[in-house]
Structure 1
Amino acid sequence: MSTDVVIVGAGPVGLYLAAALLQEGITVRVLERRPARDAHSRAIGIHPPALAALDGVNVAYAMVREGVPIRTGMAVSGGKTVGTMRFDTVSEDFPFVLALPQFRTEQLLEDRVRALDSGALLRGVQATAVTDDGGRPSVSVQSQPGATQGSRNFTASLVVAADGARSHFRDVLGVPVQRRTYPDHYLMGDFADPGIHGDMAVLFLEPGGIVESFPLPGGVRRWVVRLTRPAETAGAGDLAELVQQRTGIRPDPGTNSMLSAFSVRSTLVRRMVVGRTILIGDAAHEISPIGGQGMNLGWLDAQALVPLIREAVAGRPMDHGFRKFDESRRRAAILARRQSEINMMLGRPLPPALLGLRIAGVGAAVATPALNRWVARRFTMQQRRWFPGYSRFSYRK
């Protein structure tokens, strides 16, 4: 079976890349081992540069209609407001961070892919090997148990692996990685929103560690609590109790719709381009989800990759272009990792005296307009090092 590009992984990054390439007239096959989409809500934050990229495949308007635009973030400690940060000045096109559950993001992207080519996405298939002799690489595929088809091969001009942080395809390629682990553990869950903070994101800087709170569509609010050790068997009631202890607000455990515990690590590949195969998204650079950069970083990988794929499929030599892509996107991943490390550091518990100094520093930073704007732009991935540039349309209330 022959196509222009094989994409391994039908998460948000693989689906975005597929839609962008199909719009260019490039044929793709997206191989996804999961027979159905995971309804568990993980990533929720979509930053302005990523929204602009998503507008390029005509899904941004639908996402904005369904999501919650967060235009203000607030820091609180001991029941008092430390300061606020505005996101409505960081972008002309998308003056907010959009909160939308990942499963809805994936659904809208999948709908777009299927509208462009109803046969592009293949579920229930595992990419098991790749053969690359410098010409057209061949991907070996094994159908999951119960499928009508067994093993088969796909040949393509290029292969793109976007199969997540535990990328099987990265292991198949034997790409070396750099890993870090951190002393940070989190418990998060979604509950009915008590309506206290409206559409604001709130960071509670407390002695026991940070508590983060974000609005979601449908009158739901996500709570994330930093822990000193893994949560293990903690339940919704445990999370509600922790939130109440640190913030004075108690989410109703009976309204819990998602609960997840995670520990933090980072993984950066030593190279993103291996012959005619390219790694993007979490397959290339897993970073802490604190700060919500990972999914967005993957979309910006894919956005930068589209013009290179277009030229390569047309038969033009692109070795130099792919080398530059590899260098620039790994630099962006290192920047994202540094930002996530700063985010985690700010959330760690401290003795009262040191916590007071941290709170004073945060208050001074957000009270200085120029510094407030700089931090807001950095948090929303607006610096030029993140992305190759964008400008599509303006969306304002």
Structure 2
Amino acid sequence: MDIAAGRYWWVLVVRDVSAVGDSAQILCVMRGVGRGRSSICRSFSGTLEECRRFQIQHGGADDGVLLVDDATPVKIVSDSVNPVVDFPGYKPDCWDHVDTVSGDFSVVALRSAIESFAQDVQKVGFKIIIHLPLVLAMSEMVEVNEDAPCLLFNNENGFARLYLATEGKVVAGYKVLGENTDELEKYIREQYLVKDPVKIPFTINAEEIAKTVAEDAWLFRTDNMPSFHTPANKDALQRLRDAALFRRTVKACVVVLLLSAFVVLALGIVESVYTSESQAKIQAHQSIVQKQKDLALIWEKLDREKAQSEEFLKHRSRMSTTITNFASVVSEDIWVTHWLISGQVHSVQGYAVTSKDLSDFLEKLENDRSFINVRLRTTEKTTWKKHDVVRFDLTAENVR
């Protein structure tokens, strides 16, 4: 019932298909209720065979898995538009590449290595729905400094991992056997001419990785997620399609039931109105005197409501004028993303193409006689779709 409702994913994180012991981990991620985050309801670490047996024992024999690959050697290419790897003895079509959602970098790996890894996973009975490298999930989870080069390092599970990020973008990544990162760090410093990077340790948490991958699958759907070109298992995909059809059928039944209830309610209302009108006609001649008294009371009420309406329209006119004046000073190079009016105070957040555009916008507000106390609370240089922009947060008050 849970798979029919689309409430969970099986996520398989594999570190080494040939190793013994805890070389893989399988996790069942339950979807959060409302805006709540997803949670791990089942988890097991062991070999691939043991993980498959765990999935079968917990009712997942026919379910596919979201495969997170930490075993296939990959290379990070910062130019995601043309991710070409020039390596002696290999043609360009020998490589498979995966672009990140943001387009900051690509992950490149040998097609033969990817296919060999996928076959090893499929041999034990796993049905792959999507196959993606671990570094993609890690790039969404690790925060880097956009002002200075960052060296992200990890030395767990017998491997040393180093990722270099400049200007908030990952440009290089390495994983070597052994837990000593000194030699690898020295190589990266010399290769990429980085003197004093900010060193940031990170932890490979399989549960957080599984949650991130599962939430991306719910948000973007698996066919829109960046991944290797490993063919998805047809039976697993058909099971997902059947589940989606089931959910659509349930929704259609609910809509039909609601429409039926609405029709019944509407018929009841019509009957009630008809009965009410019939009774009103019978009693009409008895209510003439009372209506005259009620009419006088209505006139008094209308006079009071008229005065209230005039006061409301005056207030609305002032507010409309203020909004119009504010909108008139917003240029084409300013984007307002958040505008909150609380009493006389306007709180505005947005983006400007350049600092000068923001300065001109502030100057126009200060020169506008409709506003006083124009204050710039914060500014921050950032990027939007690879374009440099300035994020701002300001306040201004209406002139009463």
* TM-based fold match above 0.5: no
TM bracket (short chain): under 0.3
**What is the TM-score when the length of structure 2 is the normalising length?**
0.22
TM-score (normalizing by structure 1) = 0.22
Instruction: Give 1 or 2 for the bigger CA radius of gyration.
Output: 2
- Structure possessing the higher relative contact order (Cα contacts under 8 Å, 6 or more residues apart): 1
More helix by share: 2
